[in-house]
Amino acid sequence: MRTYFWLTGLLSLGISLLVAGEPFFWDTIQLGARHADWFYHQPLSTLLLPEEMDSGHIPAFGYYLATCWRLFGQTLLVSHLAMFPFIWLVLWQGYRLVSKLDIGLRFATLALAPGVLLLDATLVAQLSLVSPDIVLIGAFFLGINSILRKAPLWLGIAVLLLGLTSLRGMMVAFGLFLWQLALLFLYGSKKDRPFAAFKLLLPYLPGGLIALAYLVYHYQIKGWVGTHPDSPWAASFASQGGLSIIKQAAIVGWRILDFGRIFVVIALMLSWWQTGWIWNKPIKRAATLLLIMGITLALPALVSPGLSQHRYLLPVYLMVAYLFLLVLKEIQNKTWATAMVIVVLLGQISGHFWVYPDQVAQGWDASLAHKPYFEAREAGLAYLQQEKIPLSAVGTAFPEVGKQHLRMLNNMEEGLVSYNLNQQKYIWYANIMNDFSDEELLTLQTSWTPVFTFRKRGVHLEIYHRK
């Protein structure tokens, strides 16, 4: 076991170094670079973010990154290396979760079984970014292992990390507590339930009280928690009803199947059917956690479109994969088990090549399909510099709007601006952007001239000039 601990550490360091030159991307521009850059230039006594960048989370991740910059320099290398301990936490705790599952596969405990859990396309993509979701998933795995191994001190550390990560981290911590309560009612003695329930609460108190104290302080100073009407993200998080809820339910279902996860779901159902729908204690326990996490994280997504991003549902995807491994453990036919694992692993790898047409919004931070864009943007910026076109004269959309410093940490304050097809002469469009409407894309393709084009492995970037 000690050997695998150090192996996962070396692998984590390798991941950090492999992506060390990559810029901040998608939401990590906001949750990583922007928050941390604010704290980097402010006294460390500052607790709250300015209104225009405050999304309600405890900004501990930004504080952590800013502290690393103060100690070692504000660079991309330092930013990615700052994620190394949390990548290690994810890989080690993920390995521990499945290491004792004997599913009759050669090298299963070393590679195949952990791979089913850890090669989820969205998890892999987040592990390659400077993302708070790495901390969240590491703490989530630590929390599960601590509960299963009856280690309340480590559970308390996991809950603290979850609370410091984000509002969603607090929801995940609450889900873990509900899971423990459910297990208590399923398997605990009726006579001891009141005392046992109180005892279960103890590891959640330190992290819970810190989170609650921050939220109360935030409310007293700003008058809101989570979001407010003037928030830049208010439209995305506004509650909707009627047909929108049905649409959001379909989107959540799509997220669970997206980027190769359909292979995990199909393999789970076929394998479970092979066992005669076995319902033993480990499977019941995992299915209960899956149900609780599904309800906790999917319900907000049904009423607020902004809460249905792929990474928001990561604990759900991972519990589906874990449940699959538990079911596979009960399969007597080891050839079937081996075939199912190989199919699932190949399916997960295929998820990094799933690229939808431009007219379909895609979660580009949810797979490695976005990686060629970094080369594309470098070439596009070089073209603008060569042609002496100022960045402020070029319109674009998320995630490229804003100063270059928040992407490259290069102290470059200039950046591309929000697009307006009626005013600008140049438009920067890449298919990693979801904000251009179908009509606007048609206008660009028919009424504008592409002066720069880059295409690689499903990613394309065009710089258009008005005819």
What pLDDT is recorded for position 229? 66
Between 252 and 237, the more confident residue is: 252
At residue 107, does pLDDT exceed 60? no
Percent of the chain residues topping a pLDDT of 90: 78
Residue 306 binned pLDDT confidence (cut-offs 50, 70, 90) = confident
Q: Are strands 426-430 and 459-466 parallel, antiparallel or unpaired?
A: antiparallel
What's the chain's average pLDDT?
A: 92
Q: Are strands 402-403 and 415-418 parallel, antiparallel or unpaired?
A: antiparallel
- Residues 6+ positions from 102 with CB-CB distance below 8 Å: 108, 109, 329
pLDDT digits (tens, 9 = 90+) for 387-440: 999 999 999 999 999 999 999 999 999 999 999 999 999 999 999 999 999 999
pLDDT digits (tens, 9 = 90+) for 22-56: 999 999 999 999 999 999 998 777 788 998 888 88
What pLDDT is recorded for position 464? 98
What pLDDT is recorded for position 334? 82
Between 248 and 351, the more confident residue is: 351
What pLDDT is recorded for position 86? 98
What pLDDT is recorded for position 226? 74
pLDDT digits (tens, 9 = 90+) for 68-94: 999 999 999 999 999 999 999 999 999
* Domain spans in the chain, listed from the N-terminal domain onward: 2-353, 371-466
pLDDT digits (tens, 9 = 90+) for 320-345: 999 999 999 898 888 888 899 999 99
Range in 61-65, 196-200, 406-410, 437-441 the model is least confident about:
196-200
Between 414 and 305, the more confident residue is: 414
At residue 186, does pLDDT exceed 90? no
Could you give the maximum distance between any two Cα atoms of the chain, in Å? 79
pTM for this structure?
A: 0.95
What pLDDT is recorded for position 233? 59
Give the containing element (helix H, strand E) for 378: helix 372-386
Residue 443 binned pLDDT confidence (cut-offs 50, 70, 90) = very high
Chain mean position to CA 262: 18
Residue 239, helix vs strand vs coil: coil
Residue 395, helix vs strand vs coil: strand
At residue 367, does pLDDT exceed 90? yes
pLDDT digits (tens, 9 = 90+) for 144-181: 999 999 999 999 999 999 999 999 999 999 999 999 99
What pLDDT is recorded for position 59? 93
What pLDDT is recorded for position 12? 97
At residue 244, does pLDDT exceed 90? no
What pLDDT is recorded for position 462? 98
Q: What is the mean pLDDT of residues 277-300?
A: 95
Residue 240 binned pLDDT confidence (cut-offs 50, 70, 90) = low
Residue 287 binned pLDDT confidence (cut-offs 50, 70, 90) = very high
At residue 234, does pLDDT exceed 60? no
- Residues 6+ positions from 414 with CB-CB distance below 8 Å: 390, 391, 392, 403, 404
Q: What is the mean pLDDT of residues 305-317?
A: 90
Q: Could you tell me the CA-to-CA distances from 47 to 36, 71, 217 in Å, in that order? A: 12, 20, 10
Q: Are strands 448-456 and 402-403 parallel, antiparallel or unpaired?
A: unpaired
